[in-house]
Each structure stands twice: as structure tokens, then as C-alpha cells.
Copies of this chain bind each other. A is one copy, B any other.
Amino acid sequence: MKKVKVGIIGAGRIGKLHAENLVRIPQVEIKAISDIFTDKVKPWAEGLGIPKVTRDFEEILSDPEIEAVFVCSSTNSHVPVITKAAQAGKHIFCEKPINFDLEQTQQALEAVQKYDVKLQIGFNRRFDHNFKRVREMVEENKIGDVHIIKITSRDPEAPPSDYIKVSGGIFIDMSIHDFDIARFLSGSDVEEVYVQGAVLVDPVFAEHEDIDTAIITLKFKNGAIGVIDNSRKAVYGYDQRVEVFGSKGCVTVKNDFPNTAELTTDDGVYTDKPKYFFLERYQEAYIEETKAFIESVAGDKEVPVNGNDGLQAELIAHAAKKSFDEKRPVKISEFIKDTVSR
């Protein structure tokens, strides 16, 4: 078995998470990781057995042995890094979103196409045991034609004000995962979006011209309709449920819980609250998405979530923003000139 040699660009929380998952995959060898804070990163990298830590990501791209890179740096660096990595012939795993600007996203996708490398976007939820099972049931025609898709997606706590400021807003920062899941479950692109939003959790969102609570209606190209409800703060933990209703039935998934213990007393029935946040809930999904990427690279197969999936989710996010700003339903076609797909 030939090992896939990889480099990781960016050693923040998500870069470290991917590295720790990758070292457990026998088929993978992490050759290098780049980060501007090399001093902080070195002891951790040594513990994992990563031989090289560099400040300059281009050193990773110039290593001819490295086949694939994980782009885990800040969003504004994604497009230049993807472009250079593609030029260097590296396959790319990139966190979402590709970019806040649609034109730049398309430029990155063009580079990927031109240099014929693979690009997988970090929509980890597609690999979740629950959502994957829903998709299977839809594909196996268990619910017939899809009529309604419902997604509940609520975070356990709002990010700090500093983060909100640079997040790009709720739609491209948070709802983008739900837009991807909506496309994944329906098997269809989205045609139109309408948003009813509000600032109910914390007035700080209003200061950044952002909202914290939203109900987003979707119209799909295949005729189905859908709704996403988002909140930046569910005090009880991470709320991640979906429902797909169709002509032959309905499939739902509930949250995951840390245990199944149920205590019944004179006061009623009590169980623990759901798993706290994405690290707990999507622990396995993060492992699965990197495995799938490595298998695509090693076996020269299609990646399961490609650049077009990244672009489509960003298109919906932009339409959602416009819908909220202009208080009207907005068609995706208002944003599309000439999209690239790969």
C-alpha cells in the first residue's frame, strides 16, 4: 500500500483536528505543516510525529513528494492558496467557505479545473451517521418524491464579537452548512430563497449588521420546498436535526446524546441534554471526510463534495443575504453568470 503524503496549511483548531485524525489513517503520512506561529505549533507537531513545521506554506507546495494539501488557513487566504496549490499539481481539501466573494471563488475553481487537481470542500456533515442515513433512505426511494425538507441547526453559544465582525455574516458562516445539507438531502440545486430574520439572542449581532435567528425558505429546482431554522444560541447544546417528507413517507433524525440514561422520579422523566457542539457531534464525521478525500486521491476517484458544491452553497448564502436585506424572495439566478463546476 502506497502512502499518501500530505501537507497541512494552517494549524488553528481545525488544522490540528484534521492532523490528529490523519495520523490515525495508516495510509497517510503528514510530511509538513505551515503556520505563522511556528513556536506554538512545534511541540504539538512533534508529539504527533510531524517532521516539519514551517512559516511558509509555499515550502509545502514545492515538496514534490506531497500529493495533497489541507487548506485550513483563514478564509481570505483560501483563494490564493488554492490557486498556487493547483498550479503545483496538489490535490486540495479546503474548509468552507472558499471565499466571501463569489467571483474569487469562481477564480479558484477555474484554477482547479485548469490544472486538473481534485478539490474537496469541508462539508463534514455529509459524513455524519445520521444525515448519511437520511440520504440513503431518500436515494433508496423509501419516502418517494421529496416534497418538504426541514433543517434545524442551532449553535450552543454565539461566537465572540471579534469573530462575528469577520465571519461574513450568519448565512456564509453558519447557514452555509445547512445549505449544503439541503442540496445533499434533496439531490437538487436551489432556485429561490426567502429569509425572515431577527436579532433575538444578542444585540451585538445588530452592531455588525448581522442577525442571530433566521427562518430560511428554499425552493428547489426539482419542485420540493424546504425550510431551515437557525439560532446562534440554543442553551441546551448543539441542535442538529433534519426531516425529509415525501409522497411515500417521512424520515427524521434527532440529536445525538452522550448516553441513553432516563431517570424517572416524582418530578417527571429526565435525560441528559444533547452533545454540546460540533467537536462532539461530528467527531466521526471529520474522520470520515478525511478518509474519503484520501481514498479519492489514492484511488484517483471523484471527491464526494466538490468545488461546485462549495460554490452552490455560497450562492445560496449570497441570495439569503440579499433576501434579508431587501425583504423579498431572491432567485439564485440573480447571481449566476458563468459558474464553473468540477
Task: Please name the residue on chain B nearest to A156 by beta carbon.
Answer: B266
Query: Is A213 an interface residue, CB under 8 A from the partner?
Result: yes
Which residues from B are CB-within-8-Å of A266?
235-236, 248-249, 273
**Given A133-B259, A133-B272, A269-B271, CB of A213 within 8 Å of CB of B225:** yes
Q: How large is the interface on A (under 10, 10 to 19, 20 to 34, 35 or more residues)?
A: 35 or more
Bound CA span A187–B249, Å: 33
Closest-by-CB residue of B relative to A128 is: B259
Contacting B at CB under 8 A, from A189-245, are 192, 194, 196-198, 200-201, 213-215, 217-219, 223-227, 229, 231, 233-236, 239, 245
| Residue pair A249, B262 in contact (C-beta under 8 Å) | no
Contacts A200-B223, A268-B273, A269-B271; A143 near B263 (Cβ below 8 A): yes
Contact digits for A263-283, partner B, Cβ 8 Å, 1 yes 0 no? 111111111111000000000
Q: Are A274 and B265 in contact (CB under 8 A)?
A: no
A148 within 8 A of B: yes
Report whether A249 and B235 are in contact in the complex, using a CB–CB cutoff of 8 Å: yes
Identify A26's interface contact among B47, B201, B252, CB under 8 A.
B47
Residues 154-204 (chain A) with a chain B CB within 8 angstroms? 154, 192, 194, 196-198, 200-201
Name A residues whose Cβ lies closer than 8 Å to a Cβ of B.
Answer: 24, 26, 47, 129-130, 132-134, 137, 142-143, 145, 147-148, 150, 152, 154, 192, 194, 196-198, 200-201, 213-215, 217-219, 223-227, 229, 231, 233-236, 239, 245, 247-256, 258-274, 327-329
